[in-house]
Structure 1
Amino acid sequence: MDHLRPDLTRALYQAMRTARDLDAEAVALQRQGVFPAYVSVRGQEAAQVASATALDPERDFVFPTYREMASALAYGVDMVGYMASHRALWHGGLYDVMASRFGAVNAVVGGPVPHAVGWAVGERLRGGDGVALSYFGDGASSEGDVHEAMNFAGVFGAPVVFFCQNNRWALSVPNERQVAGGSVAARAEGYGMPGAVVDGNDAGAVYEATAEAVARARSGGGPTLIEALTYRVEPHSTSDDPGRYREDTEAEHWRVHRDPVALLRAAVLAAGHADEADLAEADAEAAGRAEEIRDGVAGAPEPHGSELFTHVFRETTEELTRQHRTWQEEVEL
């Protein structure tokens, strides 16, 4: 941590602390019926915040899955608009994907990976120096789309950072039952790119590994596969019961002894980048911002029901028109 700038480590802590508080608020909103469902990021804040912070929001583009709330926050996305996706107010949320350069929530396992490669190839063809970063999990690493995308990127030298958050559980399936050889990063050699394994709960290590991969891609060095070893301490989603497939003591060990927010706090203090008063102020600011985002998304107006029928097809069909007419008749009764 000593070799990172003090302002950077403080920014990482601020974003991670805010993400932690917002995550707790989001779980509460789901329990209250405001969100139909939610996927927690607790325990993965370092992997997400540090990797997103290593990018340039003016040039690069992020392709997330459905669990990258902390990445969106660190990248500067409008968080009320982003969290609206969890409230099902609009397809992919209410924020501007193109202006934010942060893709819509993608629930297709492995889906963001080929999208990132396609964008990266297009960016290079147009003469830009942007880099795509694609998030995916250890479970997604078994999907064919991921292998094909990595092979394509390796062949064409696409400026992509493949960022695998290996949280040890592909929903209810542990690593040893779905990752042959035990390492996602080891597969990089077969695609002609560097592979790196990093402690996903060490924000400094994640930042440095990602910054190196981004610099390589931007300078024409091609793609990199990063495997950030972390842990999903909460259920896969709010509808999941992890007690059916893993021991509570396992999650508790990571929650208590490997908490990324606590680890970064200790490192920042040890490096002299902040004192307890500074971090107490950061904690208060984080809690306040999380509450503001919570209130904003909870109070956002619901879209008009007619939007069920818009943006389905470029040109409407007879069947869709019939359904719209039926809906109107029922609403007007």
Structure 2
Amino acid sequence: MKANNSPSAEDVIVAVSGVSKTYKSGFQALKSIDLNLRRGEIFALLGPNGAGKTTLISIICGIVNPSSGTIRADGCDIVRDYRTARTKIGLVPQELSTDAFETVWATVNFSRGLFGKPSNPAFLEKILRDLSLWEKRDSKIMALSGGMKRRVMIAKALSHEPTILFLDEPTAGVDVELRRDMWEMVRGLRENGVTIILTTHYIEEAEEMADRIGVINKGEIILVEDKAELMRKLGKKQLTLSLQQPLETVPPALAAYRLDIADNGNQLIYTFDAKDDPEVLSRLLHDVGEAGIGFKDLQTSQSSLEDIFVSLVGAH
């Protein structure tokens, strides 16, 4: 299944067209990727290890050269107009790499200068305060915890005021409280017009944060969809009836519903699509009563984004 629901040309901030990457070993990491990202959205790129997520991000950011295809970042071709394109992009990589002997303030200020931005202490102070780093501004990087070092990487990526921010596994090794603070900051960036592209193994984060979801597997984009629409289309729901008396088999009168018996006959489970006729549940409950089956409780549940992700990757 592949759906791109592409944004209009004026809304596109990153345009990836026909991008492939084959290494000298012959391994093809990416296979003709087409992807348009919208201005001011949070886009989650999901995929198993080795699917091509980091390779695609590295190519868009100008770190790795594509074997074929073109990419435009905020209107700039990343190959022909590399310098300008790079100023539009901030990257927080998976690996923590920064000068251990520098102070927090010095390394963030230096990152801003690398892009030719004029000195702006007030802006850098705001970034450090937003990331709870202000009290550590004079501390050397080597004295910081892993979570603090992760925050410094984010501060460096934001120092030159990019319009596009890539977060490659940004909360790996970060405690729950900091993770929550970081996502509040990400929401604030999105409200200020920054486009956020993130990869994460915490799929519940993508479910909570993302506007759109992309799934990549074996170097190919297999789906791009608005999150709400994806949940509506592919989300499964279950109705579970806790029975007054256990059942051994489903009565023939209820065979059309394809019910499952669970919990040693004490539960009757009906699985349906979120897009199914909403009247089907009332008909089912009526027919259960007509079949002489009493129940003492009922509950509904819906599959998560993680369930959908696992099923999509498993099918490819």
Query: Which has the larger strand fraction?
Result: 2
Structure possessing the higher radius of gyration over alpha carbons: 2
Same fold (TM over 0.5): no
Structure with the bigger RCO (C-alpha within 8 Å, sep 6+) is 1
Task: Give the TM-score taking structure 1 as reference length.
Answer: 0.30
Task: Give the TM-score taking structure 2 as reference length.
Answer: 0.31
